[in-house]
């Protein structure tokens, strides 16, 4: 029976790639549920399939077998326009490589997903200013991204991910390219915005300090998911 507050459900999920004549099985038979509002750390060795799993959840790729459900809806049942709308409106993405457009300003980068989603220009501009203020970049909105530090660029990427008010935040090694001090600041910001925006967050990471901030840890080991609930500290 599905819990009423379940936002994500993975059901017997499998992913296999073909490289030349060889078949590479990333994982098979993965099943779990993630409740609304949870902050979940996805951990595992390099090559275990963490990024692949985030791509399936975010409708950036399709499983070989099994289903991903978002709010009770099968992603496999979405048309291409539905999948595009899901990626634009329901899911925010932060990657280790930020994929920002360096020749555009921070403000313009955060406006873009909003404009793609149909928001009016002045509203997109206002929302971009607001969310850049939330990530501590209120004074750098007009600065070109290529002129910002690595930590500042990652904050712009986080602002862009949250610009359309997603329900789900997917982050793939969001602190992986940052130095220790900047990574700690980014972890605190991710935790703060997770709570303030009422997000459900899945963070794939090798960073144990970031993983320890999660309420649950999903560990990918030999193609299987091991689910650990972290006890609350009182």
Quick one: pLDDT at residue 226?
A: 85
- How does pLDDT run across 39-50, given as a tens digit for each residue? 999 998 888 899
Quick one: pLDDT at residue 1?
A: 42
- How does pLDDT run across 128-174, given as a tens digit for each residue? 999 999 999 999 999 999 999 999 999 999 999 999 999 999 999 99
**Cβ(190)–Cβ(136) below 8 Å:** no
What percent of the chain shows pLDDT beyond 90? 75
Domain for residue 234, yes or no?
no
Domain for residue 196, yes or no?
yes
Domain for residue 123, yes or no?
yes
Domain for residue 124, yes or no?
yes
- 55 is in which domain, residue-wise? 6-229
Q: In the chain, at which residue ranges do the beta strands (DSSP E only) sit?
A: 6-19, 22-35, 39-44, 65-70, 73-74, 91-95, 168-172, 200-204, 216-221, 224-229
Taking phi over 0 as left and psi of -120 to 50 as alpha, with beta for the rest, 43 belongs to beta
Which pTM does this prediction carry?
0.92
Mean pLDDT in the chain? 91
User: In the predicted model, what is the mean pLDDT of residues 71-93?
Assistant: 95
Q: Using the structure block, give the residue that is written with the tokens 């560990």.
A: 219
In the chain, how many domains are there?
1
Domain for residue 14, yes or no?
yes
pLDDT band at 233 (very low <50, low <70, confident <90, very high): very low
Domain for residue 214, yes or no?
yes
Domain for residue 103, yes or no?
yes
CATH code of residue 68 = 3.40.50.300
Domain for residue 1, yes or no?
no
Q: How many CB atoms lie within 10 A of CB 20?
A: 5
**In 3D, which of 146, 230, 160, 172 has the Cα closest to residue 49?**
172
């Amino acid at each position: 029976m599905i819990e009423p507050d379940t936002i994500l459900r993975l059901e017997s999920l499998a992913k296999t790639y073909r490289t030349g004549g060889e078949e590479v099985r990333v994982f098979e038979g993965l099943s779990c549920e993630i409740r609304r509002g949870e902050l979940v750390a996805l951990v595992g060795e390099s090559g275990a399939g963490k990024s692949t799993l985030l791509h399936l959840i975010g409708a950036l790729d399709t499983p070989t077998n099994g289903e991903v459900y978002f709010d009770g809806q099968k992603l496999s049942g979405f048309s291409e326009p539905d999948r595009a709308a899901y990626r634009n409106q329901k899911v925010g993405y932060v990657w280790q490589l930020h994929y920002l457009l360096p020749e555009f300003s921070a403000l313009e980068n955060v406006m873009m997903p909003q404009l793609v989603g149909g928001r009016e220009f002045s509203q997109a501009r206002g929302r971009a200013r607001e969310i850049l203020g939330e990530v501590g970049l209120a004074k750098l909105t007009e600065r070109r991204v290529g002129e910002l530090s690595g930590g500042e660029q990652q904050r712009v990427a986080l602002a862009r991910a949250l610009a359309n008010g997603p329900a789900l935040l997917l982050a793939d090694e969001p602190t992986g390219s940052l130095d220790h001090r900047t990574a700690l600041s980014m972890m605190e910001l991710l935790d703060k915005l997770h709570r303030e925006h009422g997000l459900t967050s899945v963070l794939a990471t090798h960073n144990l300090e970031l993983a320890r901030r999660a309420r649950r840890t999903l560990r990918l080991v030999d193609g299987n998911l091991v689910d650990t609930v972290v006890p609350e500290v009182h």
